[in-house]
A and B are shown apart, each in its own frame.
Chain A
């Protein structure tokens, strides 16, 4: 799950919880306030009734003040019940109205109870009156239905719910904005890293929030190590190739010298040695090419103006001696200067490997045509053994065609060409040629 989504959900959940808690609190306060309001009015009305009770010679005189009931009635459309007891006997009102057990003398006592199918609030006041020469306990109970109280509380808490929901909506909008703003640096960093080529190992230098700094530092350190590793590998391969080629040259020279004075059987052996030595030297050269091309493309190395026609000419010229050894006609067809911008080293390696490959796999006394077309498309056509495997498979490192046979090779050639082409922003395609052989096309952006 994305950080942004998680953050948004967390903030939303928090906002929802806070809104809900807020609403519950307001509802609680509203209910208490409504209850206290009801109790205030009910208590005052009960006291008004109790105050009208008088002791007398004949007994307790009771008069219920009209206003007491009227005020309770005017507060809403609530039902009203009452009960007056003198000495424990109900003298008027609703004899079955529930009363609290304990006495309420100074302040009214309140009781919530169902009565006649409705929830009511009962207020009770106890008094002692002197009647007929002795003191008589008198209880006055007044009850009011809870309808208007509940309606008031519901109205207010509904309003609170609307306000709470409004708060939630605002908090939700804020949550979305916050999550977006918090994750923006992460997204930008990810974008800038993703936009790089797979081989771009330069350190990330854009400013990032402190929380991301360790990650970026680690990333940069990692990339630096990777880079250094690549450098070391290249250096190692280059040195290794050099160290192999030098003794090989010496070995070749000695073998040639030995060839002059040897008998027929020994000459055959010596020629094999020469052939193997040449193959090994080539392999060393290709390893060097490969290392150079990979390294160059990693580094997105220098960019210069290159005339592809001249470069192709140089490479063909260099390959001719080897071709002529086997009576292979190597032709070059160029329309004139073809200028492109890029790194010369991989381009040269690509051309060399492409042409060497064609020569290598061509039968003796055949032809290899190198054609350059404007728009920077170079084709190399041979009458070699053709494609035994899918081109992609052949372009893999150390992959050789099933029909390579006894031809010495490393399986690096096409891989070098392909890597170089990619580094230059071009493509390499291999197609079978009518009448046998292969046509390799290197398309480069001009």
Chain B
């Protein structure tokens, strides 16, 4: 029984902002002949997520899905301000963690054998794990792609003229995911700071999204894209390079907000996401499903730990200080 996707496309809807003090990017109603509607706010693109919704509705034809996308910080603000969403999906683990820690998430029982690293209590559940990779234009490296940050630093230093203005990375000031990657890099090793300084000397381009970074890489405006989501790179035809010194693994997480008008529908969608069928649907979109064994097999993969440690970087003072230091390193006079 396939149901028609009745797309209700409102791009950059400023009207939605009237609901509360947050900005949304896109809204779509997946209209089933349903009697109930589950409202999801998410950072994952609608087109990428649509097959998962379709799979959910195949199993639950009576539930309409209202899918809203927004930036990570906006998803956070939406839940914080008590907006009417039954499920909040975000790639910003720190912000999700902050919501749960502050008691803004409802308990949502999931599979008992779900890997410990992919859940916090029964409030935050990860349903996809994504390596944070680098992507290169092969012609710039004569076939010898850097495999570690030190390799990359060496390559950039060897030929500064070639890479001048041709290095791209996330702007942690504008992107929640970028901020998470930068802070985790800084926590992990000092090499990151050196890399930031080297990139800073090359007048880097700073992006707010992986998609924009990939577009410029494809169109040759940059040769190096550092810290982007592996699934996007793969989808765009680039082989994302997992750095062998360490590669962070981001967890896409979902939680049921305390302000949910229909928390049981949110829980139902979450249960589906974590079920074998849901995980298969996630895998079909190109997002890697949760696989704790893969993380143990590959020693360079460092899953970002879903625990209270993430709260540190959400602190405004810490954030301000970090961004100041990062900006000083990257924006060299």
Contact status A66-B187, CB under 8 Å: yes
Query: In the complex, what's the smallest C-beta–C-beta distance from B25 to chain A, in angstroms?
Result: 30
Query: In the complex, what's the smallest C-beta–C-beta distance from A143 to chain B, in angstroms?
Result: 11
Between A70, A74, A116, A118, the greatest number of chain B beta carbons within 10 A of the residue's beta carbon is seen for A70
Query: In the complex, what's the smallest C-beta–C-beta distance from A244 to chain B, in angstroms?
Result: 104
Q: Could you say which residues of chain B place their CB within 8 Å of the CB of A63?
A: 317-318, 321
Per-residue CB proximity of B286-321 to A under 8 Å, as 1/0?
Answer: 000000000000000000010111111101111001
| Interface: A73 (CB within 8 A) | yes
Closest residue of chain B to A84 (Cβ to Cβ) is B317
Contact status B315-A64, CB under 8 Å: yes
A280 and B14 alpha carbons, distance in the complex (Å): 139
| Interface: B102 (CB within 8 A) | yes
Per-residue CB proximity of B203-247 to A under 8 Å, as 1/0?
Answer: 000000000000000000000000000000000000000000000
Query: In the complex, what's the smallest C-beta–C-beta distance from B161 to chain A, in angstroms?
Result: 37
Contact status B308-A69, CB under 8 Å: yes
A91 and B317 alpha carbons, distance in the complex (Å): 8
Contact status A62-B309, CB under 8 Å: no
| Interface: A92 (CB within 8 A) | yes
Given contacts A63-B318, A92-B316, contact A78 B103 (CB under 8 A): no
Query: In the complex, what's the smallest C-beta–C-beta distance from A92 to chain B, in angstroms?
Result: 5
Closest residue of chain A to B121 (Cβ to Cβ) is A77
| Interface: A72 (CB within 8 A) | yes
Per-residue CB proximity of B117-150 to A under 8 Å, as 1/0?
Answer: 0001100000000000000000000000000000
Between B102, B187, B312, B315, the greatest number of chain A beta carbons within 10 A of the residue's beta carbon is seen for B312
A97 and B101 alpha carbons, distance in the complex (Å): 14
Contact status A74-B120, CB under 8 Å: no
Contact status B317-A80, CB under 8 Å: no
Given contacts A64-B312, A66-B187, A66-B312, contact A77 B317 (CB under 8 A): no
For A73, give its contact among B103, B187, B309, B316 (CB under 8 Å).
Answer: B309
A70 and B317 alpha carbons, distance in the complex (Å): 18
For B307, give its contact among A70, A91, A116 (CB under 8 Å).
Answer: A70
| Interface: A79 (CB within 8 A) | yes
Contact status A69-B103, CB under 8 Å: no
Q: Could you say which residues of chain A place their CB within 8 Å of the CB of B317?
A: 62-64, 84, 91-92
Q: How many residues of A contact B (CB 8 A)?
A: 24
Between B316, B317, B321, the greatest number of chain A beta carbons within 10 A of the residue's beta carbon is seen for B317
Contact status A74-B321, CB under 8 Å: no
A118 and B305 alpha carbons, distance in the complex (Å): 23
Given contacts A66-B312, A118-B103, contact A73 B321 (CB under 8 A): no
Contact status B309-A69, CB under 8 Å: yes
Q: How many residues of B contact A (CB 8 A)?
A: 19
Give residues 64-107 of A contacting B (CB, 8 Å). 64-70, 72-74, 77-81, 84, 91-93
Contact status A70-B103, CB under 8 Å: no
Contact status B315-A116, CB under 8 Å: no
A91 and B311 alpha carbons, distance in the complex (Å): 16
A320 and B102 alpha carbons, distance in the complex (Å): 122
Contact status A78-B316, CB under 8 Å: no
Query: In the complex, what's the smallest C-beta–C-beta distance from B170 to chain A, in angstroms?
Result: 20
Query: In the complex, what's the smallest C-beta–C-beta distance from A42 to chain B, in angstroms?
Result: 12
| Interface: A335 (CB within 8 A) | no
Closest residue of chain A to B321 (Cβ to Cβ) is A63
Q: Could you say which residues of chain B place their CB within 8 Å of the CB of A117?
A: 103
A237 and B315 alpha carbons, distance in the complex (Å): 117
Q: Could you say which residues of chain A place their CB within 8 Å of the CB of B310?
A: 69, 73
Q: Could you say which residues of chain B place their CB within 8 Å of the CB of A80?
A: 101, 308, 311
A3 and B279 alpha carbons, distance in the complex (Å): 70
A91 and B307 alpha carbons, distance in the complex (Å): 24
In terms of DSSP, what is the predominant structure of the interface of chain B? helix
Query: In the complex, what's the smallest C-beta–C-beta distance from A119 to chain B, in angstroms?
Result: 13
Between A65, A73, A78, the greatest number of chain B beta carbons within 10 A of the residue's beta carbon is seen for A73
For A70, give its contact among B305, B315, B316, B318 (CB under 8 Å).
Answer: B305
A81 and B187 alpha carbons, distance in the complex (Å): 21
Between A62, A63, A67, A77, the greatest number of chain B beta carbons within 10 A of the residue's beta carbon is seen for A77
Contact status A73-B307, CB under 8 Å: yes
Query: In the complex, what's the smallest C-beta–C-beta distance from A7 to chain B, in angstroms?
Result: 49
Contact status B120-A77, CB under 8 Å: yes
Contact status A79-B315, CB under 8 Å: no
Q: Could you say which residues of chain A place their CB within 8 Å of the CB of B101?
A: 79-81
A218 and B318 alpha carbons, distance in the complex (Å): 94
A77 and B103 alpha carbons, distance in the complex (Å): 13
For B318, give its contact among A64, A67, A79, A118 (CB under 8 Å).
Answer: A64
Q: Could you say which residues of chain B place their CB within 8 Å of the CB of A70?
A: 305, 307-309, 312
A264 and B103 alpha carbons, distance in the complex (Å): 136
Contact status A73-B102, CB under 8 Å: no
Closest residue of chain B to A77 (Cβ to Cβ) is B121
Per-residue CB proximity of A105-124 to B under 8 Å, as 1/0?
Answer: 00000000000111000000
Query: In the complex, what's the smallest C-beta–C-beta distance from B179 to chain A, in angstroms?
Result: 14
Query: In the complex, what's the smallest C-beta–C-beta distance from B183 to chain A, in angstroms?
Result: 8
Given contacts A77-B121, A79-B101, A118-B103, contact A69 B311 (CB under 8 A): yes
Q: Could you say which residues of chain A place their CB within 8 Å of the CB of B321?
A: 62-63
A214 and B269 alpha carbons, distance in the complex (Å): 84
Contact status B307-A92, CB under 8 Å: no
For A69, give its contact among B120, B312, B316 (CB under 8 Å).
Answer: B312
Q: Could you say which residues of chain A place their CB within 8 Å of the CB of B316?
A: 92
Given contacts A63-B321, A66-B187, contact A92 B305 (CB under 8 A): no
Give residues 93-116 of B contacting A (CB, 8 Å). 101-103
Contact status B308-A72, CB under 8 Å: yes
Closest residue of chain B to A79 (Cβ to Cβ) is B101
Give residues 233-252 of A contacting B (CB, 8 Å). none
Given contacts A63-B318, A92-B315, contact A79 B309 (CB under 8 A): no
* 10 intermolecular pairs with C-beta atoms under 8 Å apart: A62-B318, A63-B317, A63-B321, A72-B308, A73-B307, A73-B311, A74-B309, A80-B308, A92-B315, A92-B317
Interface residues of B (CB under 8 A from A): 101-103, 120-121, 187, 305, 307-313, 315-318, 321
Give 5 closest A-B pairs by Cβ, nearest first: A73-B308, A70-B309, A73-B307, A80-B308, A92-B317
List 9 extra interface pairs beyond A66-B309, A77-B307, A84-B317, CB under 8 A. A63-B317, A66-B187, A69-B312, A70-B312, A72-B308, A73-B307, A73-B309, A79-B308, A117-B103
